[in-house]
Amino acid sequence: MKVLALNSSPRTVSQSKTELMLNHLVRGMHDAGAEVELKNLHGKTIKNCIGCFTCFTKTPGVCIHKDDMTNELLPKWLKSDLVIYATPLYNYAMNATMKAFIERTLPSMQPFFEIHEDRMYHPVRGKWPAVVLLSVSGMPDEGHFSALSSHVRYLYSSPGRRLVTEIYRPAAESMSSPFLKQRVDDVLDATTQAGRELIHSMEVSPETMTRITQPFVDPRNFTIMANAMWKTCISERVTLKEFAEKKLIPRPDSLESFLLFFPLGVNDESVGDRKIVLQFKFTGEVENSCYFNIEKGLVDAQKGPPASSDITIETPFELWMDIMTNKADGGQMFMEQKYKVSGDLSLMMSLFQRPRTLCANESETSTP
Ligand SMILES: Cc1cc2nc3c(=O)[nH]c(=O)nc-3n(C[C@H](O)[C@H](O)[C@H](O)COP(=O)(O)O)c2cc1C
């Protein structure tokens, strides 16, 4: 089977989640024996359709523009059995590059009108490839794809067109997070599996689709964490790409965001078989207490003071956020008595050593 995979993300390989997902889908298709050609539309010249209908009249099937679409992309599209449209979700829709591409497939339609199930349409000229739509979004809500989905379903509902399946990955920006590595690996593995299934049976099984769309974090926590990240980008004056390149850590600005981020950096393996309670008593901008029940593989965050604790850290909130985001040296600040620790100091030190999951960060899912 001849497959043409079209990627309309303008971002680079290391940053684009559309490309990340598409590469895995294509890998699965290759595995299943398909002949796949991948084209990045960004960087190609695809002029906007000017609505002259020359391709319907003076030169049937041939566009008036002489650009990459006419010379390269449309001929490849017409020779394919299957096309993957891979687009980032922009304003609840496919992005402008993909839209321009699809508009420029007009020469592959006949000018005449026909009616099918009470709907008028243009019959196709020759044969159209079947289509798989792949899209990724920033937000975690799958409903954000509904406008795009109804658009392409409508587009492909007339005779001669076939929409094989739609693959949507919400919260795709979170795929760069080393904290989500296990889940992200499963999503990517499932996407490769979807590629195999598509070549074998022209469908994706519900189990595979469920793995692809699995939630990463609940929407409320997503909001708190994403907002902390944006605020950090703004205060550090870095782009999202630079944030990832510099391996910056989002700075918690409330007890709620601290409770979410702190467990991600704890080396929970260091406690062995013990169960320990680590308490924070904050002063300054956030005047509050919280604690973490830590046992191997689990860090449970709670507001308020615990019944008892193994380690208690009394610190100004902003100072601890400086330490957490590598703006201040925790050891140095301790020596200078900027914060106090009571309880097992050596256990505390081992808790704050970089956990193994973070050291194994340099996967293909993280931005280098
Ligand atoms: C102009 C623009 C519009 C966007 N619109 C939406 C949107 O409507 N819903 C959403 O969830 N994400 C939206 N996003 C976020 C992108 O879908 C998200 O960043 C995605 O990872 C981009 O794909 P890429 O990484 O392949 O470039 C938008 C991003 C941009 C730049």
CB atoms within 10 A of CB 219: 12
Phi first, then psi, for residue 37 (nearest 5°) are -115, 130
Other beta carbons less than 10 A from residue 230's beta carbon:
12
pLDDT band with cut points at 50, 70 and 90 for residue 367: very low
- The owner of tokens 């796949």 is 36
Nearest CA owner, ligand 1 atom 12: 138
Q: How far apart are the C-alpha atoms of 274 and 254, rounded to whole Å? A: 29
Domain annotation for the chain: domains and CATH numbers: 2-212 (3.40.50.360), 254-356 (3.30.1050.10)
Residue 358 has pLDDT above 50, yes or no: no
Helix 17-31 to helix 181-201 angle, to the nearest 10 degrees? 50
pTM above the 0.85 mark? yes
pLDDT tens digits, 230-261: 999 999 999 999 998 898 999 999 999 999 99
Question: Does residue 176 line the site of ligand 1, with CB under 6 A?
Answer: no
Tokens of 343: 């309880």
Residue 31 has pLDDT above 60, yes or no: yes
Average pLDDT in the chain: 93
The helix or strand, by DSSP H or E, that contains position 207, with its residue range, turns out to be helix 206-212
pLDDT band at 368 (very low <50, low <70, confident <90, very high): very low
Query: What gap in Å lies between CA 299 and CA 240, rounded to an integer?
Result: 28
CB 16 less than 6 A from any atom of ligand 1: yes
Residues 46-71: what's their mean pLDDT?
Answer: 98
How far is 187 from 211, CA to CA, in rounded Å? 6
**Atom 8 of ligand 1 has which residue's CA nearest to it?**
91
Q: What is the mean pLDDT of residues 257-269?
A: 89
Taking CA atoms only, the protein residue closest to ligand 1 atom 22 is 88
- The Cα–Cα gap between 31 and 259 comes to 43
Q: How far apart are CA 140 and CA 152, in angstroms?
A: 21
- What confidence category does residue 357 fall into, taking pLDDT thresholds of 50, 70 and 90? very low
- pLDDT for 354: 58
How many angstroms does the Cα of residue 141 sit away from the middle of ligand 1? 12
Tokens of 171: 């919260």
Dist CA 177 CA 164 (whole Å): 31
Region 320-327 average pLDDT: 94
Q: How far apart, in whole angstroms, are the C-alpha atoms of residue 12 and residue 176? A: 14
Q: Output 232 or 360, whichever has higher pLDDT.
A: 232
CB 88 less than 6 A from any atom of ligand 1: yes
Q: Is the pLDDT of residue 80 over 80?
A: yes
Helix (H) / strand (E) element for 146: namely helix 146-155
Task: Please report, as a single letter, which amino acid is at residue 292.
Answer: F
Angle at 151 between CA 149 and CA 155, to 5 degrees: 115
Q: Which residues contact 233 (CB under 8 A, 6 or more apart)?
A: 239, 240, 243
Residue 75 has pLDDT above 70, yes or no: yes
Q: In which element (H, E) is residue 119 found?
A: strand 119-121
**Structure confidence at residue 280 as a pLDDT band (50, 70, 90):** very high
- Ligand 1 in reach of 133 Cβ (< 6 A): no
Q: Angle 179-220-356 (CA atoms, 0-180°, nearest 5)?
A: 10
Q: Which of 138, 195, 99 is nearest to 15 (CA)?
A: 138
Question: What count of residues does the chain have?
Answer: 368
Q: Could you tell me if the CB of 8 is within 6 A of ligand 1?
A: no
